[in-house]
Every structure is written in C-alpha cells, then in structure tokens.
Structure 1
Amino acid sequence: MWLQQRLKGLPGLLSSSWARRVLIGLLVFLIFYWYLGSGGRWTFLSGSAMPGGAAGQCLQAEIHRWSSIVERGEGVYSSPEEQLDMPFVSGNGHILIDVDTNRLWVSSSSQPGSAPVHQTDYFPIIGVHLEEERAVVRANMLWFRKGAVLLVRCTSTAAVQSARDCVSIREEFIAHRSRPNVFLQRIHVSNPSDRAATLDISSVSSAHRSKFSSSLENLGNREVELSSGRVQVENNRMVLVVVVTKKLNSRIQVPAKSEFLENILSVVWTSEPIESSKLEETFSTLRDGAKKEMEELLRTEVNDLVLDHQKAWMDLFISGELDNKVLQV
C-alpha cells in the first residue's frame, strides 16, 4: 500500500520543473559514474564500433584480458577503437626494440645513460602471419609492471564466418633487464577453428638491411641466423653490431582446435666507437661472444629467463628507481 501511494504521487512530482531538473541531474551523474568506473570505455557500443567484422569481435575479447591490468594503472593499450599516440618500446639500458616500427636501437655501453643511443638498420622482430588471411586487426599493450610490450592480432580467412573461428596471435617482447644483450620474442597462436592454420614465419630480408649482412650457422643441434652491421657515429668512427637469433621453420602448421607456443631468443652485442682499421678484429670478437652467449641461453629454460627479467623489473618498482631507468637505453 505504501509503494502504491508513492507511485500515484510520481506524476505530480515530475510536474515540478525543479524535480525534473533534479532527476535529470541524477541520471547524468549515474551515467558519468558508470563511464568512469568502467575505465572510460563504452562497452555497450564497442561491439559495433570495433572494425574488422569477425576478427574485430575476436580482438575485443582479447583486449578484455587486459582490462584489469589497465584499471590497476599497470599498463596502457592502443587498439583500432582507441588509438594511443605513444611509442610501444621495450628497453633495458643497452638495447631498445620499437615494436611499432620494428627497429633496433643500441648503445655502445651497457650502463644506462652512459653512451648515446643509435638507431640501426636491423629489424629484430620475426614476422608471424596467417596464410590466406583476409582481415587482420591488432592491439598493443605496454605492461609497466612486467617490463614488456604485448601485441595481439586477430585474423580471419574467407572461410571464417564467426569470431569463434578466428586465429589469434599473441606476442610478448622483452628486452631482458638483467641480461643486457638478450631480446626475447614470445609467440602464442590459438587456432579454435575446425581447420588447420598455416603460419608464415619470416624476418625482413637482408636486401632491406643496407648495412647488415646475414648468414646461417649451427650451434650444436640448433640453427641460428648471425647478422652483422655497423652504425656510423661522430668523427668518422663506427659502432659495430652483431645479432644472433634462433632460427625457426619458415612455415608452421597449427592443427585445428590447438595452440602453438614458441620463444625466439636473440643476442645483441655492440662495440665501442672504433676506427675502420679495427673493423675485422672487432667483428670477430663480437661474433665469438654473441655465439657463446647464445649457446648458454639455448641450455636455459625460457621460463626461468622470463622470471629473472620480471624480478629485476619489480626491483625497480620497489627501489623507486623506475622513472629514471625505464626509458634509458
């Protein structure tokens, strides 16, 4: 009875202009409260706003995995729906990988901030692409707390009609904090469809590395790619760069309803600025050192490497030194 009497009085209450203004103000407040509480994302519109059809819907689900990280202030991301104008890079004081442009930057010293940073002509990220892909959408996340850049791509072919059948390619890029010469690219491919998926694995060809030359070599029972190049610096001197990278097959089959996991290790050695007369001797020293370190890494569990990196990164948070060191290369 009490509720019935109150509802009977509602039309009269709303007839007051003051009451209507209060009600409208309350509704506006609730809308903004909900908007800010959800991290500034209009989730009820995102399904229609995300481009790429089925692949776009798949990407929306992938991004949802990052929502708790972003809400805690531990990362930021950029997607087709929400563009973020900032560099997505991973660095450790000696090397820096620009994920957006696939460029390697190096310092001639492993001590952060003690030497200039140089952009090389080397492309450190190995390409992973679905064969016969029709639509591809991607998003990046910079994960502050783990010191890594995450990249996710959702791909579909002409045969895919549903987001549930799209292939997702998740990658993580780490410039190792306590091993300054080490770069790690982690790959996780998920194929939920009823058909096998073929992946093309490729690096940028040596024709596009104007100052780098590459060759294949064997380290034990593993094949690696050894690349050598140089960066011209002041006073007609040069910084030499040698990169040793674990080699993968150029084509990989991922069976229906299965996962594919791979870790690509790279070792980057650089010299101090040298004169041209020391070119061959310095290259020989760098190649020997890089191959020796790669042999050691190939005997190490990758998960142990990742945990070691994350612990070293967390120590920066605990010590309060992150702001000064995170972007020093």
Structure 2
Amino acid sequence: MNDNGAGTRDALLPGTPPPVGTPLVELRRAGKSYGNVRALHGVDLTVRAGRVTCVLGDNGAGKSTLIKIISGLHRHTEGEFLVDGRPVRFGTPREALDRGIAAVYQDLATIPLMPVWRNFFLGSELTRGPWPLRRLDIARMKETADRELRRMGIVLDDLEQPVGTLSGGQRQCVAIARAVHFGARVLVLDEPTAALGVRQSGVVLRYIAAARDRGLGVVLITHNPHHAYLVGDHFSVLRLGTLELSADRADTTVEELTDHMAGGAELDALRHELARVRGVDADGLPEDPSDTSAEGNT
C-alpha cells in the first residue's frame, strides 16, 4: 500500500467520473439461496453514475441479501452480477472495494472514542518517514479529512472531538465522505436514516444528494418511501425476495411505493375480511341497507 492509503484502488479506478447515467453495477435475474431457502430470486437492478437507486421493502423482503451480494459479502447463486459491464463473482468485500463499491452499514464501522480524523483514516492511515522510523502523518490526515468533509458540505469545528459526540446524521455523513475519498464509485447505504429523527434524516439525505451530484452511483436501502422519494431517481421494491416494482421517479408516486411495500392487494383482502366480520362493507357501511331502514322505521 502506498502512503496515500488507497492501495491499488487508485490504479483500478478511472480518474474522472463516467457520464451521468452510465451503468456501473447491474444485477440480471440475480438470486441467492441458502440451502433450500431462496432469499432472493430473479432480481434485476441497475446502478447508474450520478443517480440514486432506492431499494425498498419490509423486513424479510431481501434487502440485506441484496446488500451482501453487491458489497461482496455473499456470492449470488443465480443470474448475473456485472460491474462496468463485466461479470464478477466477489469473494470478499475487499474485492468489491477494489472495484469501487463501498457499503456503509448502520453501525458505520467507527470507534466512538477516537477523534473524527482517526476514524476517517481508520485502517488506511497516512505515514511519513522511512522504515523503521515511519510514523503517522497526523497533520496531513487532519488536513485531508477536513478538506474532504467540506467538499461534501460537512463543516466540523474540531476534528479532535470523538466521533461518538457527533449526531447520528453527522456520523453517517463522515462515513459517506470517507468512502468517497477512498475511491468509491458506488455507495451502498444500509438504512442510513432508520434511527434518526426528522432533522438528522434531512442532513443525511442532503449528503446523499451531494454524493449523487459528484457522479457517484448510490444505492439507498430503506423502508421509508418518503425519504426515498425525496432523493431517488429509480425505485425497486422487494417483496418476499422478488422484485415487486421497478420504476423511474417520473413513473411512480410515493403513494404507489407505499402501497407496493405494504402489499396493497393483501391489505384490500384483509380490509374486506374484517369488514365482513363487523357486518359492514369495505367503506364502513352496513352490508344490507334494508336492515338499517327497517331499524329506522321502528
């Protein structure tokens, strides 16, 4: 690894971002089985440069399995997985990182008691001086961390403060800026707003938009259709391991996303079933209007 901490990734990744809309990652009829259990089946997904692809779904929909395939944790067992148009079968997350794919999980892989700048370079520290007198280049790491955070619109007064003292939204943004600095072309964000309030969620969504505007392809995994619709360019809804919906922003609404996530047809069937139990129709009116008239005449 050279002193800039990026290893071989600098040589593998292009120096300038590809044109907006260029496919970076593609899944074609992809799936994953664990023994006899089919966790994901027949999923098509394209992540494009300068676009946010939102993957939505309830618990058990297959979102976690999809993340693991893209980030190199698990290998797909059916279909194709392409990066820059070439089929791949990642065996480790390092292989995915070497191709510019970085996943930011909910735990963020940060050490709360360490300063912000140490967390920014965690595992990829910059050094100076010859071996065996090599030592950490603290000044350069602080300068680089401050510059990269500011490029993402994150201004921190003190990079020495423990990262655990930052708000949840700020910690998410530090993790995003770190991934971008170390060569990510595709960001996979695992429920980044799940544990945040409204204001902090807004902070994170702004930085997701900033990453998109820098030409990155972003995969936003979420169960919140309202957050997805604020930044998303394309929406894929998973349900029980299969693709329930795939639509561009212009072709769907937040209400439709919510309906597909909740299983609209099943909810309608349940509503009618409960209505029959109560003796009313789906609109809450008595099933036999004549009975109401008879009661009104007595």
Structure ranking higher in strand proportion: 1
Per the TM superposition, whether the score is higher than 0.5 is: no
Larger Rg: 1
Return the TM-score normalized by structure 1: 0.22
Return the TM-score normalized by structure 2: 0.24
